[in-house]
Structure 1
């Protein structure tokens, strides 16, 4: 059946990656939109990133493997999926909007976005390496608190 719908592995991996990114993006955008303040939006971004891993662990694992294949050049045609999965553009925009609104004081939104994304990714990676022995919900709450303190105006 798979060969009927897809011409090969790259097309299949691309479709899987795009499906995961679309579902995750929709959930993250809804969480962010539900918040009224930029502090709330940042917290929602962080919490929803972790929530995806909690709710859809196989999706998270599949996307990580697709990104790894693209980076290692094992499968051609996945660069745009990897770029989308690793992008911090949405987060940079959120941080810059928070700065303009006077809620945040970060001097380099791109660097802060990379730090936030890296922290989330490493908590998730640590969770997988420890066979799920990391409380992701607790970690999400602590990351929200940590980065709230980092970016909030005094």
Structure 2
């Protein structure tokens, strides 16, 4: 019950990957993992491979940022944070352009809808005035009104813009 289980560090050879070296272990800095020869070749263990000027993990203890080019410094220059900043700026410009295009499209759509609305209103006014004339003429004949009285009623009740 009070037994303590200690994990066994397995090597890559034991799990089926030959030539990788030990999988678990201390690579020289806290919490690191040693990937063996392939890790050193790719730069994953924090050290810059021999003959290479690029490291994915930076050099432990020397303050270089991950992905920094050797000799370029950690600030603004040819490095991953600067590339991310440039891509972010391009994304922002793209979003501004898309917003401008969407605004232009919305403005054109509003103009089109206003044109349709005005045409519909004009047609409704014509229809209403035609019905008014027909009803006034029928009523005037039925009630014995003169043509002047009928025209006066139509003029007073006609819609216009």
With the length of structure 2 as denominator, give the TM-score of the two structures: 0.24
Per chain length, whose mean CA-contact separation is higher, i.e. which structure has more relative contact order (CA < 8 Å, sep 6+)? Answer: 1
Higher relative helix content: 1
